[in-house]
Amino acid sequence: MKKITTISSSFTLGIILALSGCGGGVTAESKEGITISGKAIDPYLSGSRVCLDLNENRSCDTNEPHTTTNEIGDYALDIALEYHGATHSLLVSGGIDTGTGEPFTGILTAVKEANQTTQHITPLSTAVEARHQYCLEAHDECQDTMEEIESAVADYLNLTADEIHGDIVELADNQSDEPLRVALALQICAEHYNHTNPYRFYEKLVQHDFSGEQSWAEYVESFIPSSPTIITAIMGVDTNDLEEVPETDHTNAHQIAQYAHGLLP
């Protein structure tokens, strides 16, 4: 009996150790992270700081996951798994606008949904993120899901959901430059509205009743009197009439960007 007891104890100890090993593996796995990737675009932003804005203060704090974009706006942000399963805002600031060669002085945002691993950050994604934040305050006219919010913003801006999510520079090069023009019109209006904190423009923009008859351009005119000139100019300019820029892979996008930023005071 003693022999059996000894064997049973050893066997039990082995099981405990094995389970402990499994537990250790789970713990180690929980400490592993995932990578979120995409581009920062206004057009492409080089050397910009990208972070996961955990405390939603519209600033990249030192204790928040962060990275820097490369020369064509690509970023790869490593985050812990504990943040991967939740919805947070991505934020980009600083760096150089490769379309104009000038410093980027605004901020752009995007929603990182739970378990999402790719996300471009643009003026269009900023409108979606601002609307999402607005809806979190439980406004009656807001949509319930991110898909509904994205669809509502896309309809409001006369774009498609794919264009809202897309690489607007690549779209301008190969398919349609309208998403880029809308994005630039939004960002230039944002700079006019509040140069020190352009995000305030997006907060104001998304408070509008998207289901109403008033267009986004008409609504913006109600609080930025100069906006009709800006929006009409950016949306209507013929690239054949624009100044030539150095030949690149994104000449069309850079021409429009330089023209748009030339409308800033």
User: What does the pLDDT average to over 158-162?
Assistant: 95
Which of 44-53, 93-102, 177-186, 255-264 has the least mean pLDDT?
A: 255-264
What are the sequence ranges of the domains in the chain? 1-31, 33-261
Read off the pLDDT band of 252 (50, 70, 90). Answer: confident
The predicted-structure confidence for 79-118, as pLDDT tens digits, reads as follows: 999 999 899 999 999 999 998 999 999 999 999 999 999 9
Question: Which token pair is 264?
Answer: 């800033």
3-class SS at 46? strand
Read off the pLDDT band of 137 (50, 70, 90). Answer: confident
Given this model, what pLDDT does residue 16 score? 39
Q: What is the DSSP letter of 118?
A: B
Given this model, what pLDDT does residue 143 score? 67
Establish how many alpha carbons lie within 13 A of residue 185's alpha carbon, considering only the half-sphere containing its beta carbon: 25
What distance in Å separates the CA atoms of residue 184 and residue 254, rounded to the nearest whole number? 11
